[in-house]
Amino acid sequence: MTTPKESAPAPHDAHVRAVLAEQPTGGPAPDARLLGLFDAMAGSRLLDIQARRMRERGQGFYTIGSAGHESNALVAEALRSTDPALLHYRSGAFFLARALQAGRPLTEALRAVLHGVVGSVADPASGGRHKVWGDASLSVIPQTSTIASQLPRAVGTAFAIARAQRLGLPTRWPRDAVVVASFGDASINHSTAAGALNTAGYCLRQGLPLPIVFVCEDNGLGISVPSPQGWVAEAAQRPGIHYVYAEGDEPDSVSAAAAEAVAIARERRRPALLHLRTVRYLAHAGSDVESAYRSPAEIAAELLHDPLLALAAELTGVDLAARYAEIADTVAALADELLDAATLTSAAAVMAPLVPADPAVISREALRRPDDERRGEVFSGRLPEDAGPLTLAQVINAALADALVTRPELLVFGEDVGRKGGVYGLTRGLQARFGQARVFDTLLDEQAILGLGLGFGVSGLLPVPEIQYLAYLHNAEDQLRGEAASLKFFSDGAFTNPMVVRVAGLAYQRGFGGHFHNDDAVGVLRDIPGIVVAVPSRPEDAAPMLRSCLAAATTSGQVSVFLEPIALYHERDLHEPGDRGWLGDYDPSADAPIGVGRTHGDGTDLTIITYGNGLRMSLRVVARLAERGVQSRVLDLRWIAPLPAEDILREAGASGRVLVVDETRRSGGVGEGVLSELVDGGFTGPMARVTSKDSYIPLGDAADHVLLSEADIEAAALTMLGLRPLQAAPLQTAPLQTAPLETAPLEPAPLEIAASVSVTELVSELVTEPIEFGAPTDVPIGDPDAVVDGAEPPEALLYDPEAEAEPPLPPPPGPPGAEPAETVPPEYVPTDAVGSFLARGPAWSVSETGGHTAEELHDEEAEDPSPDRPRRGFHFGRR
């Protein structure tokens, strides 16, 4: 490239040079400490000016600078180079000061920053993917032009340091490390900042150690919007968080305040917040015309508060003007040197950090487990693989227990997951077995929950947070998109945050619900680069899928979402009540590789591709199609990101025609991706898709109007096959008569229908109960408290190694108006868990499962455990 023309000093640069030239050079020898801080602050200022010049010439790509914030170098001085730092984007002086603190020459630190400005692959922060402050060897975790979104992770990192010490586990940080997280004054208004500060105070109130220093660098502006006078000081002072204040142009004050805050965090393991008043020079960024919203007088007044010149005033015995000019020349020479630096030149190179680990490596790790003796101790001598067929909920519970045994670094946490055992009982008993340090409840804040996971993961632990419902994920989704999934990418693989996020979701719950408990919006997850989204449907698939997610997290730092269909948690039957067709065995040696589906059946007339609740509905439809001679196969995707593309094309080719059954919305659902894979893969056979409507999910039976049904699937399949639906014989019913309220309920007249007609083909308005597509009408879905009169209460949600042998199935419910059979033994005592089970007395002891006796339950249901007592409404456990 041609040598760039020499640029004249910028006006602000000229001002600094002029002031330094007037400073006396005589006096005592300069203080080495202050001289090092001057170098860091001057280097940061000159990097900002050079970045502007490079951008003007088309040689650089980032101009958001740190000018005016250089007093954060004094914050770096108060810390150690091994303390994890999550930095504001105006942290140039902090970064250079930390590099000098670690013993690196100033030239090396300046070159590292310029590598990022030009997008060089040698950039230690991101490998040329973004200009961020980051360097694993300096414990600086790269951020993404953060607007406080790194603060939940910072809190999680501080929590991880203390929790690992309590558990005797190693992390990548020293045991007495302190986390530092900086952010701007405008960012203190962001929900991530408010939530992080709230979480810190919440932890302190519970007596939990949290060694973190928040640094709010307050220049009074959010680009052009001024912060109200005094607002930051008020907003920054939170219950329990030690608050200190310093003016950035008073070096001694900054040093003292930073030292005080760090001492609180390091010695007392308590959170502190340093409110650092700064100024902003060179506008917000290179494209920002500051004069459009600030008067010349305002801009000029800030020149009197320059932190660089304030520090320079304390130095003697050195020609600072010459030293400043020398650093400027070094920066310019380094910039010229990097004009031909190698950059990313292909999509493969850009995406290299997103490439998953070798499937063989993941499989080996997934099958790792302790010996059966240790497992036998945890499972009280009765291993889950010897327990017989289990529900989806029981398998997930057993798999979590196995994982906690196998991986001592694994932590399970979320709302109501501890003592309660989860609103659907999936973590029941885990806290009692593994302790409150490893299985614990959190505050009600999904951003905080995911932030804890991010901090645990980046520190070397293995977090398994639970988001109580899919709809609750959306207000915190950026913690997955902008923080979790991006860290490996923007750090060039130097940092990862392995994590498996369990989410209860999808629709088809009965007995309660509405939008927030029947959410099917998965599009927001599927377009996050590098993320894995698993949807286990069959019980026998759930454990190996969970093991694969955990193994990928361990081997390559993978972030996965384990999306669990709530309506299938406690389902037992497939085709008929009592057929037990939806139970499955627990196999600790089974493998379910990421991105590999599972095919049910081998028919060649039709291929149905589905997942989640769609699998059960499709298998029921396939059975009815078989009665008409149609031989089908069903591909359970199991993984909706990445999609099992090879399986999709193979199974489509096996029949030549494909029906995609997608329970999510028509727009932005999974089916669109499946059809794209078919088209891109060259499949030319007939294709069709059935989905739910583009609607929120309403309460009660109204949901049936917008959710995909078995009738929809069957009709689409018959259409593809060129077959007509079977018609029901005329229904002979007596005309309805208005009866007095005190009379007995009306009974429907007998229905005369053809022997081959299926339930889904009946005219729904003439049936006394609405058809619940996807489930037998006498089996409660989702909410196990919604027990149908006369039916057996659901069995325990948790796999219990000491549970009694399974009782025989109860008789089906009698006709309307008949007395229900007495099937609930008097020793059954309801727990306080939502979706709770009725546990047999001695089989579920408090010491072994964390269950509660009636005396411990502080609700009216515990006071009256009679099975005949009317059930209360759904107990949401939150909000």
142 close to 112: Cβ distance less than 8 angstroms? no
**Residue tagged 């993917």 (tokens):** 129
Phi, psi of 764 (to 5 degrees): -65, -30
Structure-block tokens of residue 134: 């980051």
315 close to 38: Cβ distance less than 8 angstroms? yes
Instruction: Work out whether the CA dihedral 141, 470, 384, 358 comes out positive or negative.
Output: negative
CA distance 113 to 107: 10
**Residue tagged 């042998």 (tokens):** 805
* 628: nearest Cα among 532, 692, 724: 724
262 close to 254: Cβ distance less than 8 angstroms? no
Phi, psi of 155 (to 5 degrees): -60, -45
Instruction: Give the DSSP H/E element, type plus range, for residue 53.
Output: helix 32-56
CA distance 259 to 251: 12
3-state percent helix, strand, coil for the chain, nearest multiple of 5: 40, 10, 50
* Residues 6 or more apart whose Cβ sits within 8 Å of residue 365: 551, 554, 555
Given the residues 69, 88, 517, 852, the one annotated as active site: 517
Query: CA 316, 321, 323 angle in degrees (round to 5)?
Result: 85
CA distance 396 to 675: 31
Tell me, what amino acid is at 535? V
CA distance 704 to 202: 42
Q: What's the per-residue H, E or C state across 307-376? A: HHHHHHCCCCCCCHHHHHHHHHHHHHHHHHHCCCCCECCCHHHHCHHHCCCCHHHHHHHHCCCCCHHHHH
Structure-block tokens of residue 104: 């690196």
172: three-class secondary structure by DSSP: coil
606 close to 630: Cβ distance less than 8 angstroms? yes
Beta bridge partners of 135: 140
How many H helices and E strands in the chain?
29, 21
**Cis peptide upstream of residue 642 (ω within 30 degrees of 0):** yes
774 close to 709: Cβ distance less than 8 angstroms? yes
Q: What's the per-residue H, E or C state across 91-150? A: CHHHHHHHHHHCCCCHHHHHHHHHHHHCCECCCCCCCCCCCCCCEHHHCECCCCCCCCCC
Side-chain half-sphere CA neighbours of 85 within 13 A: 34
Tell me, what amino acid is at 527? D
CA distance 168 to 241: 27
Radius of gyration from C-alpha coordinates of the chain: 32
596: three-class secondary structure by DSSP: coil
Q: In angstroms, how far apart are the furthest CA atoms of the chain?
A: 112
The answer to whether residue 115 is catalytic is: no
* 186: nearest Cα among 214, 219, 151: 219
Catalytic (active-site) positions:
517
